[in-house]
């Protein structure tokens, strides 16, 4: 009984898949008796089998649908849209019940009586909301399949395919051994064996093949339902249903194709009134066609809608910070169209249940490229959009490259590789900027990773040239990957890897090359994500435009100061922000409230890069001004004044760096002036003052040229002359060479340190300090301050 039930469920699910398109096609031509009879037979078969298998809900639903279809066959009822919708709803419920039985889950407890009641209700005069246009799925009227079939478990087919794959590997190994000797008889026998193995592989491979009809099966129903929901009339055309592709590939392409079709209906094809205003037919045309091209399947989805509004895409990209206005101005039209693949970007004006959440086309491309495919767009604004998917014929055997890294071998799909070259190539330069590695190939910059670093492997010690591969990424931005060497290229037999390995996110499976040694198949998109490569907008079209403009000496440049940071990085800062460069006593730098500051001209100014402790006595500092705010930027060394592009060659958004500029062939980080001034404190810095040193002898050359620098070096704030009116802070210390009677303006009780020019110890009554006794001077200042505090 279990076998019979499983057989019934399998046949029901397969028939439902095929019939969904037939019901929609029959709705557009109710006089098509062949389709009506096919639908009627389905419900009649289900009803007959259910009684024997004790499936009462199946029987009740199919019996109600059979009665209605019987009335239509006899001319007692017409196939209006409401009736067709009710029949489709019953088919959906039967599909849900079949899925529940197949998985062993509890049957959904929905109200079947409501569906049956909808079947028996006659459609009103306004029943046809938005009639779907005819569907042309390439079948001739009344065509019946002459093929006889047998049902086999998929596991058995997979076992057969694995066995043939092993035979192919054994044949390849035998071929290598035979090449080592010369024996015409053996060569002839091997050729016959090789031909037989190849034929067997092709024959068994076909058992995994399915017609693209299965991929197209759900499209007519989806187009009909979405068209009715959105009030759009859509003429659907399906071509190439007889093309065959691997069943696993069919399953991988279903979701991307479904999303593209839904987008075409929702975003692309306009409402009838809008199409009339644009001079188009009311019915939009949607065409889905498949064809085989070599070892690839090409699927084209095209519509005659409004196409992609690239100006809206660019505006949204600028709005969310993934694109700058300067970079947008340099994009070609195709580059603007390709922005649709960036995560989070959508042309939808509002979020709907159909689309518009901005989480679609980036996932579509990632899924297509994960299986070795390519997706391209051909946009015709106002006239439509054509999307082409190119995917391998099968996932079982794909062309690939064998690479070596960290003493291990890995495989990677050949379709993922753009270019291969050695690091000794003159057209390649490697550099490290912004905390990341950059590979420049003929002026084109790519983020750079080493495969060993991503996989946690040890790099080889030998100093031989490494191989650099430019790899296509799922984000649309190619990246460079360093490996030890590329060993070989061959047809790879692909098998699934264990779940723990796949969970790492950097592998697409495992493969068995000619030598029979298993190796892991790398996933290019997974490697990019694991390495956390920055989303750098660095397109080739913009670069070519820059190079052309630079060649004509018309590129806009600005003056910049080239310097070395305290931490060693070589950077650029726009010269217009720098008021001057000066050397400052390191003792003038300090910190208050976690923020760095520097004492300059009696004021405390903020330090922009937070450095306030230095090894040397003098610090080279850049005095910055944005018109209102001032700040100091300590650096290790100033190199030169240079010209840099007004817009960096490569845009970044990490910390204090806004991009990378190429000056004299060197990649230099550009300091982000906006972020720099935005980080400054809004309020004035308040230092916990220990009091000032007031030099009463303001006109004394010795006080100005010798004493004041000494005090500043010791960290004291120096003021020349007694403040007007004698207003001083209680912790201020007055230093003077005058006698007591000469300092009448000092407030009573204010600490005073007296200095004398005579060498040697003073008298017991003379409390002055020899002015060149540094230690005694500093001790006196400290004692005076502590005495005041006490």
Calculate the CA 545 to chain-centre distance. 25
Binned at pLDDT 50, 70 and 90, residue 303 comes out as very high
Residue 540 has pLDDT above 80, yes or no: no
Residue 594 has pLDDT above 50, yes or no: yes
DSSP helix/strand/coil, 259? helix
739 vs 732: CA distance, rounded Å: 19
Binned at pLDDT 50, 70 and 90, residue 255 comes out as confident
Residue 288 has pLDDT above 90, yes or no: yes
Residue 595 has pLDDT above 80, yes or no: no
Q: What is the per-residue pLDDT across 404-417, written as a single tens digit (0 to 9) for each?
A: 998 899 988 877 88
Length of the chain: 790
pTM for this predicted structure: 0.47
More confident residue, 347 or 261: 261
Stretch 300-314: mean pLDDT: 89
Does residue 294 come out as left (phi exceeding 0), alpha (psi in the -120 to 50 range) or beta?
Answer: left
Highest mean pLDDT among 446-450, 549-553, 588-592: 446-450
Binned at pLDDT 50, 70 and 90, residue 655 comes out as low
Are the beta carbons of 707 and 735 closer than 8 angstroms? Answer: yes
Binned at pLDDT 50, 70 and 90, residue 139 comes out as very low
Are the beta carbons of 103 and 95 closer than 8 angstroms? Answer: no
Q: Is the dihedral of CA 52, 55, 58, 59 positive or negative?
A: positive
Residues 6+ apart with CB under 8 A from 527: 449, 451, 454, 471, 481, 506
Binned at pLDDT 50, 70 and 90, residue 686 comes out as low
Residue 561 has pLDDT above 80, yes or no: yes
Does residue 164 come out as left (phi exceeding 0), alpha (psi in the -120 to 50 range) or beta?
Answer: alpha
Q: Give DSSP secondary structure letters for 347-412.
A: --SS--SSS-SS-SHHHHHHHHHHTT-EEEEEEETTTEEEEEEEEES-SSEEEEEEEEETTEEEEE
- Burial code of 46-85, b = ≥16 C-beta within 10 A, e = fewer? bbebbeeeebebbbebbbbbbebbeebeeeebebbbbbbb
550 vs 379: CA distance, rounded Å: 30
When mean pLDDT is compared across 124-138, 209-223, 498-512, 597-611, the lowest value belongs to 124-138
130 vs 400: CA distance, rounded Å: 49
pLDDT of residue 133: 43
Highest mean pLDDT among 144-148, 379-383, 534-538: 379-383
Highest mean pLDDT among 484-488, 530-534, 630-634: 630-634
What is the crossing angle of helices 247-263 and 219-230, to 10°? 10
Residues 6+ apart with CB under 8 A from 338: 377, 476
More confident residue, 314 or 601: 314
pLDDT of residue 481: 92
Binned at pLDDT 50, 70 and 90, residue 289 comes out as very high
Residues 6+ apart with CB under 8 A from 780: 753, 769
Stretch 86-96: mean pLDDT: 83
pLDDT of residue 543: 46
Q: At 610, phi and psi to the nearest 5?
A: 70, 0
When mean pLDDT is compared across 84-88, 435-439, 647-651, the lowest value belongs to 647-651
User: Is residue 779 within a helix (H) or strand (E), and if so which, with residue range?
Assistant: helix 774-789
Q: What is the per-residue pLDDT across 154-189, written as a single tens digit (0 to 9) for each?
A: 778 778 877 877 787 777 778 777 777 767 778 778
Q: Give DSSP secondary structure letters for 52-67.
A: HHT-HHHHHHHHHHHH
Residue 260 has pLDDT above 70, yes or no: yes
Are the beta carbons of 457 and 412 closer than 8 angstroms? Answer: no
Residues 6+ apart with CB under 8 A from 765: none
Residue 208 has pLDDT above 60, yes or no: yes
Average pLDDT taken over every residue of the chain: 77
393 vs 751: CA distance, rounded Å: 93
- DSSP code of 104? T
More confident residue, 573 or 33: 573
> In Å, what is the CA distance from 767 to each residue of 88, 141, 740, 783?
109, 122, 11, 13
More confident residue, 766 or 39: 39
Binned at pLDDT 50, 70 and 90, residue 219 comes out as confident
User: C-alpha angle with apex 232: 226 to 235, nearest 5 degrees?
Assistant: 90
In 31-146, alpha helices (H): 33-53, 56-73, 81-103, 112-120
Binned at pLDDT 50, 70 and 90, residue 502 comes out as confident
pLDDT of residue 285: 93
DSSP helix/strand/coil, 552? coil
Binned at pLDDT 50, 70 and 90, residue 364 comes out as confident
Binned at pLDDT 50, 70 and 90, residue 546 comes out as very low
Calculate what percentage of the chain has a pLDDT beyond 70. Answer: 81
Rg (CA), the chain: 40
Residue 624 has pLDDT above 80, yes or no: yes
Residue 286 has pLDDT above 90, yes or no: yes
453 vs 457: CA distance, rounded Å: 6
Are the beta carbons of 492 and 482 closer than 8 angstroms? Answer: no
Highest mean pLDDT among 109-113, 132-136, 566-570, 644-648: 566-570
Stretch 510-530: mean pLDDT: 77
Q: What is the per-residue pLDDT across 343-360, written as a single tens digit (0 to 9) for each?
A: 666 655 554 545 543 346
Residue 141 has pLDDT above 60, yes or no: no
Q: In what order do the strands lie in the sheet with 557-564?
A: 637-645, 557-564, 570-574, 666-671, 657-663, 650-654
Closest to 92 (Cα-Cα) out of 13, 181, 6? 13
- For tokens 């087919």, name the residue: 157
């Amino acid at each position: 009984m279990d076998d019979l039930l499983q057989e019934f469920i399998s046949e029901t699910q397969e028939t439902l898949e095929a019939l969904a398109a037939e019901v929609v096609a029959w709705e557009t031509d109710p006089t098509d008796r062949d389709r009506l009879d096919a639908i009627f037979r389905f419900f009649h078969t289900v009803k007959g089998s259910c009684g024997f298998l004790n499936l009462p809900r199946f029987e009740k639903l199919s019996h109600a649908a059979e009665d209605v279809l019987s009335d239509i066959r006899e001319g007692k009822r017409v196939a209006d849209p409401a009736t067709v919708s009710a029949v489709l709803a019953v088919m959906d419920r039967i599909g849900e019940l079949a899925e529940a039985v197949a998985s062993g889950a509890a049957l959904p407890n929905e109200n079947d009586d409501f569906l049956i009641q909808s079947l028996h209700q006659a459609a009103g005069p306004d029943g046809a909301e938005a009639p779907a246009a005819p569907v042309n799925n390439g079948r001739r009227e009344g065509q019946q399949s002459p093929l006889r079939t047998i049902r086999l478990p998929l596991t058995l087919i997979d076992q057969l395919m694995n066995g043939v794959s092993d035979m192919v590997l054994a044949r390849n190994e035998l071929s290598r051994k035979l090449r080592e000797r010369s024996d015409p008889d053996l060569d002839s026998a091997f050729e016959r064996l090789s031909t037989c193995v190849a034929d067997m592989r092709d024959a068994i491979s076909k058992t995994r093949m399915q017609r693209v009809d299965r991929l197209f099966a759900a499209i007519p129903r989806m187009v009909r339902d979405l068209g009715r929901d959105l009030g759009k009339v859509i003429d659907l055309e399906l071509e190439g249903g007889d093309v065959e592709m691997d069943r696993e590939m069919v399953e991988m392409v279903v979701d991307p194709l479904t999303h593209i079709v839904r987008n075409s209906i929702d975003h692309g094809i306009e409402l009838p009134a809008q199409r009339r205003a644009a001079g188009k037919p009311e019915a939009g045309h949607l065409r889905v066609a498949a064809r085989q091209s070599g070892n690839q399947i090409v699927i084209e989805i095209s519509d005659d809608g409004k196409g992609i509004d690239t100006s809206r895409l660019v505006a949204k990209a600028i709005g969310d910070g993934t694109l700058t206005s300067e970079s947008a101005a340099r994009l070609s039209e195709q580059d603007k169209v390709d922005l649709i693949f960036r995560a989070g970007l959508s042309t939808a004006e509002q979020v709907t249940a159909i689309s518009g959440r901005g989480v679609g086309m980036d996932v579509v491309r990632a899924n297509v490229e994960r299986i070795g495919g390519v997706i391209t767009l051909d946009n015709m604004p106002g006239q439509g959009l054509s999307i082409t998917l190119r995917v391998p014929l099968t996932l079982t055997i794909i062309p690939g490259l064998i690479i070596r890294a960290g003493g291990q071998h890995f495989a990677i799909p050949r379709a993922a590789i753009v270019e291969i070259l050695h690091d000794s190539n003159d057209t390649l330069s490697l550099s490290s900027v912004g905390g990341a590695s950059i590979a420049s190939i003929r002026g084109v910059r790519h983020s750079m990773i080493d495969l060993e670093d991503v996989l946690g492997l040890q790099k080889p010690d030998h100093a031989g040239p490494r191989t650099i591969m430019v790899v296509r990424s799922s984000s649309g931005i190619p990246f460079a990957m360093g490996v030890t060497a590329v060993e070989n290229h061959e047809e790879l037999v692909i098998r699934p890897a264990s779940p723990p390995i796949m969970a790492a996110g950097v592998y697409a499976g495992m493969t068995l090359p000619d030598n029979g040694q298993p190796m892991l198949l790398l996933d290019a998109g997974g490697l990019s994500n694991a390495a956390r490569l920055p989303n750098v907008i660095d397109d080739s079209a913009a670069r070519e435009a820059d190079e052309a403009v630079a060649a004509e000496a018309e590129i806009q440049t600005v003056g910049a100061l080239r310097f070395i940071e305290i931490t060693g990085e070589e950077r650029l800062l726009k010269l217009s922000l720098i008021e001057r460069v000066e050397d400052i006593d390191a003792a003038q730098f300090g910190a208050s409230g976690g923020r760095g500051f520097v004492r300059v001209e009696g004021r405390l100014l903020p330090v922009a890069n937070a450095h306030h402790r230095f090894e040397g006595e003098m610090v080279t500092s850049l005095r910055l001004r944005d018109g209102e705010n001032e700040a100091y930027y300590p650096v290790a060394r100033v190199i030169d004044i240079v010209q840099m592009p007004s817009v960096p060659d490569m845009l970044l958004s990490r910390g204090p760096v806004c991009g990378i500029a190429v000056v004299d062939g060197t990649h230099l980080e550009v300091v982000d002036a906006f972020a720099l001034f935005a980080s400054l404190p809004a309020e004035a810095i308040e230092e916990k003052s220990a009091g000032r040193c007031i030099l009463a002898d303001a006109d004394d050359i010795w006080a100005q040229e010798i004493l004041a620098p000494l005090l500043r070096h010791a960290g004291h704030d120096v003021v020349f002359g007694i403040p007007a009116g004698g207003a001083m802070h209680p912790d201020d210390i007055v230093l003077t060479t005058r006698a007591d009677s000469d300092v009448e303006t000092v407030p009573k009780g204010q600490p005073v340190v007296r200095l004398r020019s005579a060498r040697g110890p003073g008298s017991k009554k003379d409390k002055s300090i020899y002015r060149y006794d540094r230690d005694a001077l500093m001790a006196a200042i400290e004692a005076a301050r502590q005495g005041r505090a006490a």
